[in-house]
Structure 1
Amino acid sequence: MPSSAPLVEMRRITKTFPGVTALDGVDFTLLSGEVHVLFGENGAGKSTLISVLSGVYPQTSGDLRIDGEDIALSSVKDAKKHGIAAVFQEFSLVPTLTVAENIFLGSEPMRGPFVDRRAMVIQARKLFADLDFPMNVKARVVSLSRAEQQMVEIAKAIHSQAKILILDEPTASLTERETETLFRIVREAKARGVGIIYISHRIQEFSAIADRITVLRDGRLIGTVGVHDLTPAGLVEMMTGRAIDEIYPPITRQPDGPILLSLRGLKAWGVSGADIDVRAGEVLGVAGLVGSGKSRTWRAALGVIPMTAGSVTLKGEDVSGKPTRRFLKNGVFYLPPDRKAEGLMLGATTRQNVNLGLIDREDSNGFLKMLSPGKMRGIADRIARKVDLSDAYMARTISNLSGGNQQKALFGRGFGQDYDVYIFDEPTVGVDMGTRAALYRLIKEIAEAGKAVVVISSDLPEVMNLAHRLVVFSAGQISAELSGDDIDEQTILKAFFANERQTA
């Protein structure tokens, strides 16, 4: 149980940047042995608050106490001296060093004047063994998956013996099994009296791990509640100021729309046969656990990964095994699940990223059929307004934008051409409810314009509320196909494991 004396006290914390008040008199407390969730939309002030606590920059005004002592943090190193460790969305690992070298960076075991690399490897192996997470500690970080890098960051924080642990969207890159491992690690840290600040948009995780939830909106404190004091719908309303039924818009279905994309007997690695029709004017939802084949099916159909058998037909034409660019040119828009690895040019501006969708538009050409910067600017500005991207963001490097604004830019690219089929793979991963509502309205607009829409998602409420028809994947096969009132949570959950039991 958490102790009654606050481990962290932040009182009237205000942080201003030129022309912007990011935090406006926010109070926040963290108890020893507590998991305290920070909840809010992108831009609500969550990252600013934990940046103040982790020493990234000082507050403009307000008081900070650790264990009852007034402190003024001057740097991240200073924060670490006070027992504060943060695992941010953007990792701090050195990619060219090994896992063990990253874990012990700055605190290497020594043998006389030399680093004891053997001891480093032995201790790193013990650390991951204690965490019950398999890891090759001699592997260089650059060779690891994002989920493995996430666990290295967490192991590094655990190794630092921090008494205050900040986890920023820690499960965004993890499978269900890896998430359970993380939750176990968090519970063990709680039992040792560690105070944990947990930032996540995944409301469904809170009841499994949290004690209290603090909600921020527009840099202000809205309130702090016990984890069981509010329903998920109440939390969403507290965060956004809107009822949850305003988040998911009703989408009118076009009856008997023509089949635009058809998959027959499609097989690929991890997919053992899929028959799916995608119709105009309809939202087709695709659900399933991580590893079920729900995403690989579409990546194989679009030529992103090889398909080994079956056929794909687009608007009546056999396009089986064709390269991805053929689909893009013939009217298919694909939004990948990892916007940073596959979707965006992170070193380019937001405008340049949006402009990628305009290259083949005739009205973006000027003299001698060459691309016209002026015409492209006008079109991109109209798209930005459509997806609710501020003019101020267009000239900024897109890697500096929030996840929600990055996703809006990626959606914006889909309005660069007149596509017939839109395939959205995890369309709202890592974005807040306010941004979700905006993206869902765009999906509604696309479907009601007569386009075919596929929404592949690990977020069950998302696919249930958006889909007219839903296919469920289990162990590489379609285990259920539902529509209308038959799209029921219990039916879907049973279908998640239908083929798992058969192949066990």
Structure 2
Amino acid sequence: MSNRQTPAQDRMQPAAASPLLEAKNLTKEYPGVTALDQVNFELRPGEVHVVFGENGAGKSTLISILAGANQPTAGEIFLRGEAQHLHSVHDARENGISAVFQEFSLIPQMTVEENLFLGGEPTRRGFIDKDRIRREARAILDELGFNLNPRQRVDHLTRAEQQMVEIAKAFRSDLSVLILDEPTASLTSHETDHLFELIAQLTKRGVGIVYITHRMAEIRRIGDRITVMRDGRYVDTVDAGSTSEDDLVRLMTGRVVGSIFPELDLGEPGRQVLQVKDLTTVGDTVRAASVEVRAGEIVGMAGLVGSGKSELLQACFGAIQIESGSVQLNGADITGKPPRHSIRAGFLYLPADRRKEGLMMMRSVRENVSLASLDIAPFSNGLWMDRSGEARAVSSLAERLNLSPPRIERAVDHFSGGNQQKAMLARSLTRSYDLIVFDEPTVGVDVGTRASIYEFIVELAKQGTAIVLISSDLPEILHLTSRAYVFYRGRIQAELSAGQLTEENVLAHFFEREAA
């Protein structure tokens, strides 16, 4: 283990100097909702100031106003002591404020370099200077250590690579304030380390960082101060180094939350539910993989982004084409069957990217929850949809999962990330499933929602459902699974039993092993 200091230790701690950026009594009202209620916030030069709170606490509204993407109903913003009226994102960038939002703002049909300079293209003799764009794009990507081709179209990139492009956009101009909203959600540990080194370099130059994360380890590693929000209101600002995790959760939720991971106590697994033999996908994203999952157990799939852990279960579900091998569910061959067949056979896959793959963002909670069960009661009565039965069932599930607000006719896009995740999870309760795959189920959700999701998964396993948990979050694999498979470049490197699930053992198989 390296003795290298973390970025927060590398730099001098920011003194209690005049604020670089300050918000006073910021209020944002929508019809019937107060998203921000007289919130105060200050950012000092050279500090990483973490904004912490549950989903729906007002964090995203606050940073959208600071970044110029939204305008407050009331309140003021000051930059270096001078009042600012940030009418747009472009206006904020002109003042040295750049943001990397959790939801990407890229144009898929354009290249990496075109996205980096979109809206600020350099010109020469009245024409866009493409050579300069290419040179400067390459320089930015090299500075950040991102191995991307500037000429590659964004829609051909993985989600992790698209995250890199979003981060690179913020470095296009001179920075005074950098706002990062869950920037590591799709990055590998190596890419995260490099991002944190860049943050350390920026803070040494006096750049202030506003940082949103739900990961306690990141707060400890790079944070200086933490502002806690709850229900659109300011709660407190505390020191990141001396405030305990329990205190943070208490401030965030207004209640004491115990250990985030529930006790498993699953007992002996039952019958074999899923059996995969020598599966290889078209394109070799998975090669000769064999796994089995039994009733009442939680099986982890670990590995770096792109290792094949998600692609294996997508292929089993029917979302990726299989070249060779076999998949059996409850003893029946489902190799190559479409997702519709898998669902009706008792197999549900909940994807990692809820916005692009898991939910219809412009449709209601009701429609999203019932999506996989429109062929059965109470959602239909044969040939026809049963609207009243559907509404009653979804309302009951919304109450069970504590959807906030419990408005099932509201479009999913109008809910916080944690509540969007609850809407997708509710789908697993609309019919009887023998096997449920949760792919990165806690990405972008707060600690309280994360604990609820863990309890939800464990309860399903205790009821006899076979669970597969695909996760890039190592603590989830260590604390929430009965055993785990570790992937590397499409192959299974190891299968680890509960007694072998340690950080060292898992990480030892994340990379290529030397020949004996």
- 1:363 and 1:25 map into 2 onto residues whose CA distance is 45
Deviation of the 1:54 alpha carbon: 2.0
The residue number in structure 1 matching 2:3 is: none
| Preserved contact between residue 14 and residue 61 of structure 1 (Cα < 8 Å) | yes
Aligned counterpart in structure 1 of residue 502 of structure 2, from 453, 469, 488 = 488
**Is structure 2 residue 513 aligned with structure 1 residue 501?**
yes
Deviation of the 1:46 alpha carbon: 0.8
1:121-200 aligned within 5 A = 121-200=134-213
- 2:503 and 2:155 map into 1 onto residues whose CA distance is 39
Amino acid in the other structure paired with 2:341? R
- 1:263 and 1:389 map into 2 onto residues whose CA distance is 36
- 2:102 and 2:67 map into 1 onto residues whose CA distance is 14
The residue number in structure 1 matching 2:243 is: 230
After superposition, the C-alpha distances for 1:161-193 in whole angstroms (9 at most, x for unaligned) are 121111111122223333233223322322322
The residue number in structure 1 matching 2:398 is: 384
* Pair 1:24–1:327, CA change in 2 (3 A): same
1:41-120 aligned within 5 A = 41-120=54-133
- 1:332 and 1:144 map into 2 onto residues whose CA distance is 29
Three-state SS of the structure 2 residue aligned to 1:313 is strand
After superposition, the C-alpha distances for 1:381-431 in whole angstroms (9 at most, x for unaligned) are 222222222465422222232221111111111112111111111111111
* Pair 1:208–1:390, CA change in 2 (3 A): closer
* Pair 1:235–1:287, CA change in 2 (3 A): farther
| Preserved contact between residue 399 and residue 406 of structure 2 (Cα < 8 Å) | no
C-alpha RMSD of the superposition: 2.7
* Pair 1:442–1:323, CA change in 2 (3 A): same
- 2:138 and 2:306 map into 1 onto residues whose CA distance is 27
* Pair 1:336–1:104, CA change in 2 (3 A): closer
| Preserved contact between residue 254 and residue 280 of structure 1 (Cα < 8 Å) | no
* Pair 1:274–1:142, CA change in 2 (3 A): closer
**Is structure 2 residue 439 aligned with structure 1 residue 421?**
no
| Preserved contact between residue 100 and residue 181 of structure 2 (Cα < 8 Å) | yes
Identity, % of aligned positions: 47
- 1:181 and 1:142 map into 2 onto residues whose CA distance is 24
Deviation of the 1:330 alpha carbon: 0.8
Deviation of the 1:332 alpha carbon: 0.8
- 1:101 and 1:489 map into 2 onto residues whose CA distance is 41
The residue number in structure 2 matching 1:370 is: 384
After superposition, the C-alpha distances for 1:255-282 in whole angstroms (9 at most, x for unaligned) are 3422222223434424444443322222
- 2:311 and 2:510 map into 1 onto residues whose CA distance is 16
* Pair 1:495–1:233, CA change in 2 (3 A): farther
- 1:334 and 1:75 map into 2 onto residues whose CA distance is 39
- Structure 2 runs not aligned, ≥5 long: 1-11
Amino acid in the other structure paired with 2:458? K
The residue number in structure 1 matching 2:374 is: 359
Amino acid in the other structure paired with 1:359? L
Amino acid in the other structure paired with 1:161? D
Aligned counterpart in structure 2 of residue 288 of structure 1, from 303, 319, 325 = 303
| Preserved contact between residue 229 and residue 252 of structure 2 (Cα < 8 Å) | yes
* Pair 1:275–1:212, CA change in 2 (3 A): same
Amino acid in the other structure paired with 2:474? L
- 1:94 and 1:265 map into 2 onto residues whose CA distance is 38
- 1:316 and 1:282 map into 2 onto residues whose CA distance is 18
Aligned counterpart in structure 1 of residue 42 of structure 2, from 29, 37, 50 = 29
What count of residue pairs does the alignment treat as equivalent? 500
- 2:151 and 2:501 map into 1 onto residues whose CA distance is 47
| Preserved contact between residue 64 and residue 72 of structure 1 (Cα < 8 Å) | yes
**Is structure 2 residue 37 aligned with structure 1 residue 20?**
no
Normalised TM-score (structure 2): 0.88
Amino acid in the other structure paired with 2:369? V
* Pair 1:323–1:34, CA change in 2 (3 A): same
Amino acid in the other structure paired with 2:422? K
- Structure 1 runs not aligned, ≥5 long: none
Three-state SS of the structure 2 residue aligned to 1:292 is coil
- 2:324 and 2:244 map into 1 onto residues whose CA distance is 46
| Preserved contact between residue 381 and residue 391 of structure 1 (Cα < 8 Å) | no
Deviation of the 1:243 alpha carbon: 4.5
The residue number in structure 2 matching 1:211 is: 224
